[in-house]
């Protein structure tokens, strides 16, 4: 009990300090606490779309005495400690993970906390229309259709996704999120001919094998009920990729990591480099393109998030 009280007092003091810094010294309307540095660009733009007449300062380190990044305290665990200290001038924003799907978030309706309706912010960078636009802008080419690929990809992994959510709900360890993510990988470099058809066929084989291994861990009724529940949460089969672990699809810092979208984009950019016999698009230009091409309207997961902010503050 004493540790809990001490923690509450500490984070009340930190939130007050950050709020004062944002409002009194930086002339902002509020302080926004987020999970990490790479999250700032996304959340800053979400707030710009929701509250264009307001100014916000973003923070992601609760160790205000830190003199170096190695001393930072950040991540979702730190965000949770601030939930009860939020108000209209101190706001917390987090990745949902599976919390939106399972209604397992720990903030109350009166806390000023906003969570994604995707697994994480990374999923938004994977929205098919965003990806199509950035590759078109960077290469001038439209040889690969992201919508076709990601729609088919989603259809293939959906049954495993259902089992993954069931396992997370039951916390039984039968099919972890990481196991699910590992099953859904594609080749590096991938075969992108015919919009990745060969890659999808290989993925289907892997998924079928995993489904066979997992057969019987849940009853048909449990699976049916979960599918019905996911539908009530507006999860469409064709958009499953927006609800799976976003870090398994793309890495916004280390673009060379073998993630699904990293692999595809790196291959497309490499093809362009070879075709033009040039150095091609730099990593900085690619990341800048990702950040500036993302759309903040047009699909329910982003529209609902923007609307939440408009209504609550």
Reported as a single tens digit per residue, the pLDDT across 222-254 is: 999 999 999 999 999 999 999 999 999 999 888
Q: Please provide the size of the chain in residues.
A: 313
Regarding whether 133 and 251 lie in a shared domain, the answer is yes
For residue 178, pLDDT over 50 is answered with: yes
Structural domain of 275: 126-281
For 182-216, how does the pLDDT look when each residue is reduced to its tens digit (9 = 90+)?
A: 999 999 999 999 999 999 999 999 999 999 999 99
How many whole angstroms separate alpha carbon 35 and alpha carbon 228? Answer: 32
For residue 2, pLDDT over 60 is answered with: no
Regarding whether 222 and 190 lie in a shared domain, the answer is yes
Instruction: Return the pLDDT at 1.
Output: 46
Residue 289 maps to a domain: no
Q: Check: pTM over 0.75? Answer yes or no.
A: yes
- Mean pLDDT, rounded, of the chain: 95
Instruction: Return the pLDDT at 296.
Output: 94
Regarding whether 182 and 144 lie in a shared domain, the answer is yes
Regarding whether 141 and 104 lie in a shared domain, the answer is no
Residue 79 maps to a domain: yes
Regarding whether 201 and 245 lie in a shared domain, the answer is yes
Regarding whether 206 and 133 lie in a shared domain, the answer is yes
Residue 183 maps to a domain: yes
Report the pLDDT averaged over residues 39-53.
Answer: 97
Residue 290 maps to a domain: no
For 62-99, how does the pLDDT look when each residue is reduced to its tens digit (9 = 90+)?
A: 998 887 888 999 999 999 999 999 999 999 999 999 99
Regarding whether 235 and 135 lie in a shared domain, the answer is yes
Regarding whether 102 and 82 lie in a shared domain, the answer is yes
Residue 59 maps to a domain: yes
Residue 298 maps to a domain: no
Residue 203 maps to a domain: yes
Instruction: Return the pLDDT at 5.
Output: 63
Instruction: Return the pLDDT at 249.
Output: 97
Q: What percent of the chain has pLDDT above 90?
A: 88
> Would you place residue 4 in the very low, low, confident or very high pLDDT band (cuts 50, 70, 90)?
low
For 117-152, how does the pLDDT look when each residue is reduced to its tens digit (9 = 90+)?
A: 999 999 999 999 999 999 999 999 899 999 999 999
Regarding whether 77 and 184 lie in a shared domain, the answer is no
Regarding whether 252 and 139 lie in a shared domain, the answer is yes
Regarding whether 273 and 150 lie in a shared domain, the answer is yes
Residue 229 maps to a domain: yes
How many domains does one find in the chain? 2
Regarding whether 149 and 269 lie in a shared domain, the answer is yes
């Amino acid at each position: 009990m004493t540790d809990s009280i001490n923690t509450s007092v500490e984070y009340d003091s930190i939130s007050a300090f950050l709020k004062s810094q944002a409002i009194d010294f930086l002339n902002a309307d509020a302080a926004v606490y987020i999970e990490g540095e790479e999250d700032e660009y996304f959340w800053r733009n979400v707030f710009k779309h929701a509250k264009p007449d307001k100014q916000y300062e973003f923070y992601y380190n609760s160790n205000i005495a830190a003199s170096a990044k190695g001393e930072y305290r950040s991540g979702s665990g730190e965000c949770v400690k601030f939930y009860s200290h939020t108000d209209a001038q101190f706001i917390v924003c987090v990745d949902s993970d599976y919390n939106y799907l399972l209604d397992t978030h720990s903030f109350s309706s009166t806390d000023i906390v906003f969570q994604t309706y995707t697994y994480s912010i990374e999923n938004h960078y994977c929205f098919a229309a965003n990806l199509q636009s950035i590759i078109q802008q960077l290469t001038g080419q439209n040889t690969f259709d992201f919508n076709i690929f990601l729609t088919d990809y989603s259809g293939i992994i959906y049954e495993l996704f259902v089992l993954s959510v069931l396992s997370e709900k039951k916390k039984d360890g039968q099919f972890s999120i990481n196991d699910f993510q590992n099953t859904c990988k594609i080749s590096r470099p991938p075969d992108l001919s015919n919009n990745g058809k060969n890659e999808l066929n290989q993925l289907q084989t892997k998924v079928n094998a995993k489904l066979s291994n997992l057969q019987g861990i849940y009853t048909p009724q449990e699976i049916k009920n979960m599918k019905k529940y996911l539908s009530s949460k507006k999860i469409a089969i064709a958009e499953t990729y927006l609800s799976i672990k976003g870090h398994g699809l793309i890495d916004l810092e280390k673009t060379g990591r073998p993630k699904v979208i990293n692999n595809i984009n790196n291959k497309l950019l490499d093809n362009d480099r070879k075709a033009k016999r040039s150095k091609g698009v730099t990593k900085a230009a690619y990341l800048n393109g990702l950040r500036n091409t993302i759309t903040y309207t047009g699909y329910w997961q982003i529209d609902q998030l923007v609307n939440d902010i408009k209504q609550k503050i």
